Amino acid sequence: MTSGLETLTGNWSYPTAIRFGIGRIAELPDACKTLGLKTPLLVTDRGLAAMPMTKAVLDDLAEAGLGGAVFADVDPNPNEKNLAAGVKAYRHGGHDGVIAFGGGSGLDLGKLIAFMAGQTRPVWDFEDIGDYWTRADADAIAPIIAVPTTAGTGSEVGRAGVLTNSETHVKKIIFHPKIMPAIVIADPELTVGMPKPITAGTGMDAFAHCLEAYCSPHYHPMSQGIALEGMRLVREWLPLTYTNGKDIEARAHMMSAAMMGATAFQKGLGAMHVMSHPIGAVYNTHHGMTNAVVMPYVLQLNRPEIENKISWAADYLGIRGGFDGFFDFVGLMRAGLSVPDRLRDLGVGTDRIGDLVDMALEDPSCGGNPVKLTKANMRALFEMAI
């Protein structure tokens, strides 16, 4: 086998059953019954828990004889304390599955509650390293239904959850194949009420997922194609979603793009996420907006390895000028969404750069960056971005 062919290897997995369309949240009781759930626990964040759409969902569940239990002690960057409280609520209530309802934080914690409810080892034993996932009792993982209310993380079609260690302020990726939700209900109407900053941040997160997956050096042609079309959808529909949040067609396309980004990034992520994970853990910034801020700096770092690839993407997206044209497009899109130019505008200071660099180089996304990440180039990235 030649050295060129040795790179043509990969472990591929694709998402789950997705019920996509306007009004399909009404099918949630049926989805529960499809999975044999009788007493599901709905996991969401504090803000969503108080919203009318959440109350309507809980009322529908109660009317269907499925109870109306909810757990909402979910921080914007969930940690192991939130997880322990959720597992306690799950066990105390005698629940038999989880409805993960919300944005990335609610979806991730909901999935991890379902995962950890039947485990005896600490959650950190299941970090996404090697075959750590085989330590879990797969039969003890509860069924999961995911209902996204934002269009960004794509966690609804992911096999992992991100959890922040409250003591070290390091984000860890917890992985197991059965963390993948069994059913997703993707109803664009649930995203109509998103404020503009959240629309921008989550939309740019979807774009970052597609862009980094597309640029990853790993071999995964199916993800490559999905990433490319995902970028096209974001380019066409995110500005419209941002200017008119009630544009349901735009919302629908962005919900698709979010799931496409999360499907594609099994091909790999890179320095954008390597930076945003520690920044979010230390400074509690919005993950998608952080990705949006660091995006141009990472593109320039990776230019020597991705210039041709980005030129091909630019052609597909209808952008003239190759890499430079694509780079200018990213800048204009960021400006149109009121994305700050620097991390300092998100409250990130220079006092922890050394810690951020160390944490970044331990992030599993390092392996998907086209340019090898080192202390020197990571420090330069953080300094420029801040």
State whether 210 and 316 are in the same domain: yes
How far is it, in rounded angstroms, from Cα 260 to Cα 215?
Answer: 15
Burial of 139 (C-beta count, 10 Å sphere; 0-12/13-18/19+): exposed
Do 85 and 205 fall into the same domain?
no
Residue 10 domain-assigned (yes or no): no
pLDDT tens digits, residue range 163-221?
Answer: 999 998 888 999 999 999 999 999 999 999 899 999 999 999 999 999 999 999 999 99
In terms of average pLDDT, the best of 3-7, 12-16, 170-174 is 170-174
Same domain, 102 and 246: no
- Residue 68 pLDDT: 87
Whether 212 and 360 map to the same domain: the answer is: yes
- Per the domain annotation, does 233 fall within a domain? yes
Q: List the domain range (segments joined by +) for residue 313.
A: 196-385
Per-residue pLDDT, 170:
87
- Are 182 and 200 within one domain? no
For the chain, the C-alpha Rg in angstroms (whole number) is 20
- Cβ 338 vs Cβ 380: under 8 Å: no
Pick the last residue of a domain from 140, 163, 191.
191
Same domain, 136 and 283: no
**Which of the residue ranges 5-9, 75-79, 182-186 has the most confident prediction, judged by mean pLDDT?**
182-186
Supply φ then ψ for residue 100, to 5 degrees. -85, 115
Position 328 in a domain: yes
Position 11 scores a pLDDT of 67
367 has a pLDDT exceeding 50: yes
Residue 11 in domain: no
What's the rounded Cα separation, in Å, for the pair 363 and 377? 15
pLDDT tens-place string over residues 225-239 = 999 999 999 999 999
Mean pLDDT, residues 75-90 taken together? 96
Tokens of 287: 């993950």
- pLDDT, the chain, mean: 95
Domain count for the chain, please give it.
2
Q: Write down the pLDDT at residue 193.
A: 85
Examine residue 379 and state whether it is found in any structural domain, yes or no: yes
Is residue 82 pLDDT above 60, yes or no? yes
Choosing from 191, 217, 244, the residue where a domain stops is: 191
Provide the 3-class DSSP secondary structure of residue 288.
helix
Express each pLDDT in 298-343 by its tens digit: 999 999 999 999 999 999 999 999 999 999 999 999 999 999 999 9
Same domain, 166 and 66: yes
Q: Is the pLDDT of residue 152 over 80?
A: yes
Q: For residues 42 and 294, what is the distance between their CA atoms, to the nearest angstrom?
A: 34
**Residue 297 is assigned to a structural domain of this protein:** yes
Quick one: what percent of the chain has pLDDT higher than 70?
97
Predicted pLDDT at 2 = 47
Asked whether residue 231 falls in the same domain as residue 172, the answer is no
Q: Are residues 205 and 335 in the same domain?
A: yes
The mean pLDDT value for 273-291 works out to 95
The continuous run of DSSP H or E covering 184 comes out as: strand 183-186
Q: Does 4 fall in a domain?
A: no
Is there a domain that residue 128 lies in?
yes
Q: What is the pLDDT of residue 330?
A: 98
Give the CA distances from residue 190 to residues 103, 201, 212, in Å, rounded to whole numbers and listed in that order: 11, 17, 27
Q: Do 236 and 292 fall into the same domain?
A: yes
Verify that 147 and 204 share a domain, yes or no: no
Mean pLDDT of 369-385: 98
Verify that 21 and 140 share a domain, yes or no: yes
Average pLDDT on 116-121 reads 97
Instruction: Using DSSP, state whether 172 is helix, strand or coil.
Output: strand
Q: Where among 191, 225, 242 does a domain terminate?
A: 191
Q: For residue 44, what pLDDT band results from cuts at 50, 70 and 90?
A: very high
Q: At 178, which CATH number?
A: 3.40.50.1970
Please report, for the domain that includes residue 371, its CATH number.
1.20.1090.10
